[in-house]
Chains A and B, each alone.
Chain A
Protein backbone atom coordinates (compact mmCIF):
# COMPACT_ATOMS: atom_id res chain seq x y z
CA UNK A 1 0.00 0.00 0.00
CA UNK A 2 1.04 3.58 -0.55
CA UNK A 3 2.06 5.81 2.31
CA UNK A 4 3.28 9.37 2.58
CA UNK A 5 5.66 10.54 5.28
CA UNK A 6 6.21 14.13 6.24
CA UNK A 7 8.51 15.50 8.92
CA UNK A 8 9.00 17.14 11.27
CA UNK A 9 5.48 17.43 12.69
CA UNK A 10 6.21 20.67 14.54
CA UNK A 11 8.92 23.25 14.08
CA UNK A 12 9.71 26.56 15.76
CA UNK A 13 12.33 28.60 13.96
CA UNK A 14 13.71 32.13 14.42
CA UNK A 15 13.34 34.76 11.74
CA UNK A 16 16.23 34.58 9.27
CA UNK A 17 17.01 30.91 9.88
CA UNK A 18 16.95 28.30 7.07
CA UNK A 19 14.21 25.73 6.56
CA UNK A 20 14.07 22.23 5.19
CA UNK A 21 10.90 20.14 5.21
CA UNK A 22 10.94 16.68 3.71
CA UNK A 23 8.25 14.50 2.22
CA UNK A 24 8.58 10.95 0.92
CA UNK A 25 6.09 8.62 -0.71
CA UNK A 26 6.29 4.83 -0.56
CA UNK A 27 4.57 2.15 -2.58
CA UNK A 28 4.24 3.99 -5.87
CA UNK A 29 6.42 5.32 -8.65
CA UNK A 30 6.52 8.58 -10.56
CA UNK A 31 3.89 10.32 -8.44
CA UNK A 32 2.88 13.94 -8.89
CA UNK A 33 3.96 15.74 -5.72
CA UNK A 34 2.59 18.93 -4.18
CA UNK A 35 3.41 21.36 -1.37
CA UNK A 36 0.53 23.32 0.15
CA UNK A 37 0.40 25.90 2.91
CA UNK A 38 -2.62 26.43 5.11
CA UNK A 39 -2.77 29.60 7.20
CA UNK A 40 -4.91 29.56 10.36
CA UNK A 41 -8.58 29.47 9.37
CA UNK A 42 -7.72 29.68 5.71
CA UNK A 43 -7.91 27.34 2.76
CA UNK A 44 -5.09 25.47 1.08
CA UNK A 45 -2.65 27.48 -0.98
CA UNK A 46 -0.66 25.54 -3.57
CA UNK A 47 3.02 26.47 -3.37
CA UNK A 48 4.84 24.03 -5.65
CA UNK A 49 4.17 20.92 -7.65
CA UNK A 50 6.33 18.42 -9.49
CA UNK A 51 5.53 15.87 -12.17
CA UNK A 52 9.00 14.29 -12.23
CA UNK A 53 12.55 14.29 -10.87
CA UNK A 54 14.11 17.74 -11.04
CA UNK A 55 10.92 19.32 -12.39
CA UNK A 56 9.38 22.03 -10.17
CA UNK A 57 6.54 24.42 -10.91
CA UNK A 58 6.03 27.40 -8.64
CA UNK A 59 2.55 28.76 -8.06
CA UNK A 60 3.24 31.75 -5.84
CA UNK A 61 6.44 33.85 -5.82
CA UNK A 62 7.71 33.91 -2.25
CA UNK A 63 10.55 33.19 0.12
CA UNK A 64 10.42 29.43 -0.47
CA UNK A 65 11.82 26.93 -2.95
CA UNK A 66 11.28 23.25 -3.65
CA UNK A 67 13.36 20.41 -5.00
CA UNK A 68 12.76 16.83 -6.05
CA UNK A 69 16.11 15.03 -5.91
CA UNK A 70 14.56 11.54 -6.15
CA UNK A 71 11.37 10.13 -7.65
CA UNK A 72 9.50 9.91 -4.34
CA UNK A 73 11.17 12.69 -2.38
CA UNK A 74 10.01 16.30 -2.26
CA UNK A 75 11.77 18.99 -0.23
CA UNK A 76 10.58 22.46 0.73
CA UNK A 77 13.32 24.94 1.63
CA UNK A 78 14.02 28.51 2.57
CA UNK A 79 17.32 30.30 3.04
CA UNK A 80 15.92 32.91 5.44
CA UNK A 81 12.54 32.52 7.09
CA UNK A 82 10.12 35.42 7.49
CA UNK A 83 7.37 35.75 10.10
CA UNK A 84 4.86 35.43 7.28
CA UNK A 85 6.17 31.92 6.50
CA UNK A 86 4.41 30.58 9.60
CA UNK A 87 1.66 28.10 8.79
CA UNK A 88 0.70 24.49 8.34
CA UNK A 89 2.63 22.89 5.47
CA UNK A 90 1.17 19.88 3.72
CA UNK A 91 2.70 17.52 1.18
CA UNK A 92 0.42 15.56 -1.15
CA UNK A 93 0.70 13.07 -3.99
CA UNK A 94 -1.35 11.52 -6.77
CA UNK A 95 -0.79 9.20 -9.70
CA UNK A 96 -4.33 8.55 -10.83
CA UNK A 97 -4.71 11.47 -13.22
CA UNK A 98 -8.18 12.01 -11.81
CA UNK A 99 -7.36 14.70 -9.28
CA UNK A 100 -7.72 12.97 -5.91
CA UNK A 101 -4.71 13.76 -3.71
CA UNK A 102 -3.44 11.95 -0.64
CA UNK A 103 -2.05 14.27 1.99
CA UNK A 104 0.65 13.83 4.58
CA UNK A 105 0.12 14.64 8.23
CA UNK A 106 1.58 18.14 7.88
CA UNK A 107 4.26 20.28 9.53
CA UNK A 108 3.22 23.13 11.77
CA UNK A 109 5.85 25.85 11.36
CA UNK A 110 6.03 28.81 13.70
CA UNK A 111 8.53 31.53 12.87
CA UNK A 112 9.41 33.64 15.92
Chain B
Protein backbone atom coordinates (compact mmCIF):
# COMPACT_ATOMS: atom_id res chain seq x y z
CA UNK B 1 0.00 0.00 0.00
CA UNK B 2 1.33 3.44 -0.95
CA UNK B 3 1.64 6.01 1.83
CA UNK B 4 -0.35 8.52 -0.23
CA UNK B 5 -3.04 7.58 -2.73
CA UNK B 6 -4.35 9.99 -5.35
CA UNK B 7 -6.60 9.27 -8.32
CA UNK B 8 -4.62 10.23 -11.45
CA UNK B 9 -7.76 11.17 -13.41
CA UNK B 10 -7.93 12.75 -15.89
CA UNK B 11 -10.77 14.92 -14.65
CA UNK B 12 -12.59 17.03 -17.23
CA UNK B 13 -15.06 19.73 -16.14
CA UNK B 14 -16.79 22.70 -17.78
CA UNK B 15 -15.72 26.22 -16.95
CA UNK B 16 -17.40 27.49 -13.78
CA UNK B 17 -17.75 24.05 -12.17
CA UNK B 18 -16.70 23.23 -8.64
CA UNK B 19 -13.79 20.81 -8.66
CA UNK B 20 -13.01 18.39 -5.84
CA UNK B 21 -9.58 16.75 -5.68
CA UNK B 22 -8.73 14.21 -2.99
CA UNK B 23 -5.95 12.20 -1.42
CA UNK B 24 -5.92 9.51 1.22
CA UNK B 25 -2.95 8.52 3.34
CA UNK B 26 -1.93 5.80 5.74
CA UNK B 27 0.63 7.45 8.05
CA UNK B 28 -1.14 9.01 11.02
CA UNK B 29 2.03 10.96 11.88
CA UNK B 30 1.59 13.32 8.92
CA UNK B 31 0.96 16.85 10.19
CA UNK B 32 1.73 19.13 7.23
CA UNK B 33 -0.40 18.92 4.12
CA UNK B 34 0.16 20.68 0.85
CA UNK B 35 -1.28 20.99 -2.62
CA UNK B 36 0.93 21.74 -5.57
CA UNK B 37 -0.13 22.79 -9.05
CA UNK B 38 2.01 21.73 -11.99
CA UNK B 39 1.51 23.06 -15.49
CA UNK B 40 2.76 20.99 -18.39
CA UNK B 41 6.58 20.94 -18.63
CA UNK B 42 6.96 23.15 -15.54
CA UNK B 43 8.01 22.58 -11.96
CA UNK B 44 5.30 22.21 -9.29
CA UNK B 45 4.28 25.38 -7.46
CA UNK B 46 2.93 25.43 -3.93
CA UNK B 47 -0.78 26.26 -3.98
CA UNK B 48 -2.09 25.57 -0.49
CA UNK B 49 -0.46 24.68 2.83
CA UNK B 50 -2.26 23.38 5.91
CA UNK B 51 -1.04 22.32 9.30
CA UNK B 52 -3.02 19.60 11.09
CA UNK B 53 -6.80 19.37 10.63
CA UNK B 54 -9.25 21.96 9.44
CA UNK B 55 -9.98 24.18 6.47
CA UNK B 56 -7.99 26.87 4.75
CA UNK B 57 -9.33 29.19 2.09
CA UNK B 58 -7.44 31.29 -0.44
CA UNK B 59 -9.56 32.96 -3.09
CA UNK B 60 -11.25 30.26 -5.17
CA UNK B 61 -9.28 27.48 -3.45
CA UNK B 62 -10.17 25.66 -0.23
CA UNK B 63 -8.05 22.95 1.36
CA UNK B 64 -9.56 20.56 3.88
CA UNK B 65 -7.80 18.09 6.13
CA UNK B 66 -9.62 15.33 8.02
CA UNK B 67 -6.98 13.56 10.08
CA UNK B 68 -9.48 11.17 11.66
CA UNK B 69 -10.28 9.79 8.20
CA UNK B 70 -6.76 10.34 6.81
CA UNK B 71 -8.27 12.28 3.94
CA UNK B 72 -7.44 15.63 2.39
CA UNK B 73 -9.26 17.60 -0.26
CA UNK B 74 -8.78 20.60 -2.49
CA UNK B 75 -11.85 22.44 -3.79
CA UNK B 76 -11.70 24.85 -6.70
CA UNK B 77 -14.71 27.14 -7.12
CA UNK B 78 -15.66 28.80 -10.39
CA UNK B 79 -13.02 26.78 -12.23
CA UNK B 80 -11.26 28.47 -15.14
CA UNK B 81 -9.42 27.07 -18.18
CA UNK B 82 -6.24 28.45 -16.59
CA UNK B 83 -6.77 25.94 -13.74
CA UNK B 84 -6.04 23.12 -16.20
CA UNK B 85 -2.97 21.44 -14.72
CA UNK B 86 -1.87 18.48 -12.66
CA UNK B 87 -2.55 18.82 -8.94
CA UNK B 88 -0.30 16.95 -6.53
CA UNK B 89 -0.99 16.45 -2.87
CA UNK B 90 1.98 16.20 -0.53
CA UNK B 91 2.42 15.63 3.17
CA UNK B 92 5.09 15.44 5.82
CA UNK B 93 5.54 14.55 9.46
CA UNK B 94 7.46 17.80 9.88
CA UNK B 95 10.89 18.52 11.31
CA UNK B 96 12.60 18.52 7.89
CA UNK B 97 11.28 15.04 7.21
CA UNK B 98 10.68 14.27 3.56
CA UNK B 99 7.61 15.31 1.65
CA UNK B 100 5.63 12.35 0.35
CA UNK B 101 3.74 13.09 -2.86
CA UNK B 102 0.65 11.63 -4.42
CA UNK B 103 0.76 10.63 -8.08
CA UNK B 104 -1.10 13.79 -9.14
CA UNK B 105 -4.54 14.35 -10.68
CA UNK B 106 -4.70 15.83 -14.16
CA UNK B 107 -7.48 18.41 -14.44
CA UNK B 108 -8.85 19.88 -17.67
CA UNK B 109 -11.30 22.78 -17.52
CA UNK B 110 -12.94 23.35 -20.88
CA UNK B 111 -14.65 26.60 -21.94
| A residues whose Cβ falls under 8 Å from a Cβ of B | 6, 32, 41-44, 46, 49, 51, 88, 90, 94, 97-106, 108
Contacts and interface: CB of A to CB of B under 8 A. Distances in A.
B53 to A, nearest CB: 16
Nearest to A90: B43
A39 B6 CA distance: 16
Contacts of B44: 44, 90, 103
A106 B43 contact: yes
Contacts, number: 55
Query: 4 tightest CB-CB pairs across the interface, nearest first?
Result: A99-B92, A103-B43, A43-B103, A99-B32
Contacts of A6: 43
B17 interface: no
B97 to A, nearest CB: 7
B45 to A, nearest CB: 7
Nearest to B92: A99
B94 A98 contact: yes
B49 A44 contact: no
Given A43-B104, A49-B98, A99-B34, 10 more contacts: A43-B88, A43-B103, A51-B96, A97-B95, A99-B99, A100-B49, A102-B46, A103-B44, A105-B43, A106-B41
A31 B98 CA distance: 14
Contacts of A42: 103
Interface in B63-111: 88, 90-92, 94-99, 101-104
